[in-house]
Amino acid sequence: MPTAPLTVWITRAEPGAAATAERVAAMGHRPVVAPLLRIEAASDVAVDLTGVAALAFTSANGVRAFAALCPRRDIRVFAVGAGTTAAAKAAGFKSVLSAEGDVGALAGRIAARRAELRGAVLHPGAAEPAGDLVGSLVAEGLEARSLALYDSVAVAPPADLLAALDTIDVVLLHSPKAARALARLLRGRTLPNLRLLCLSQAVARPVARTKVREVVRAPFPIEAALLNLIGRGAVPTGTAPRTATRRLKSQ
């Protein structure tokens, strides 16, 4: 049975937000793009690839930031998932291996290829990464280091969006930092019809105690799995909405 279109708030930073909005619209829903984060490139960063055998990317933003600073594309790349893999290939990297998972899966995939690595693994990414990839690699006995190329800065959404939160059906959360920003915005509010859909358990944790209809994490930390959650629990066309008060989270 077809479901009524849902209004979906996309909180991730640009340029990823626009791409997500296109996918949401293609599913028949109404995307609202209002990022909670803004990407700011680090200044005066020098990329030193001396002794580097491979690059490890945990976000498409990391790929784009590295590609803007360094012309080298002949280094092996390990990518955390499909979106990051696509960004690496679009940037011109020829050898790209996807972990198709989270930071833990990426560390495991790299460790499994340790015999092929003759040097260090460089992790270009955010100043505050969502996971400790370098620490996990070092724990596996690999040489690894990070390179901060950008930071994600919290930004306030439009006031009219906050005033109309009761008209939003779904919020998509792609990062723990965005989830923390949303948790601050929802503090003291009760929104019995709002669903928060999270890319991973780490993303869901900051909003676990918000008073909303439900907080759901994707079964796999990839955007396709996240978007598949949008229609679940949606009201079929022509059907009166069910009460969701019993699913409120307690503080």
Give me the pLDDT at residue 237, please.
41
- 128 Rama class: left (phi>0) / alpha (psi -120 to 50) / beta: beta
- Over residues 68-77, the pLDDT tens digits come to 999 999 999 9
Contact 120, 56 (CB under 8 A): no
The structural domains of the chain, ordered by start, are 7-36+174-247 (3.40.50), 42-152 (3.40.50.10090)
pTM score of the predicted model: 0.82
Q: What is the pLDDT along the chain (251 residues), one digit of tens a residue?
A: 457 899 999 999 998 999 999 999 999 999 999 999 999 999 889 999 999 999 999 999 999 999 999 999 999 999 998 889 999 999 999 999 999 888 999 999 999 999 999 999 999 999 988 789 999 999 999 999 999 999 999 999 999 999 999 999 999 999 999 999 999 999 999 999 999 999 988 899 999 999 999 999 999 888 999 999 998 865 444 433 333 322 223 22
Give me the pLDDT at residue 2, please.
57
Give me the pLDDT at residue 78, please.
98
User: Any idea which residue has 């833990």 for tokens?
Assistant: 104
Cα within 13 Å of Cα(131), Cβ side: 21
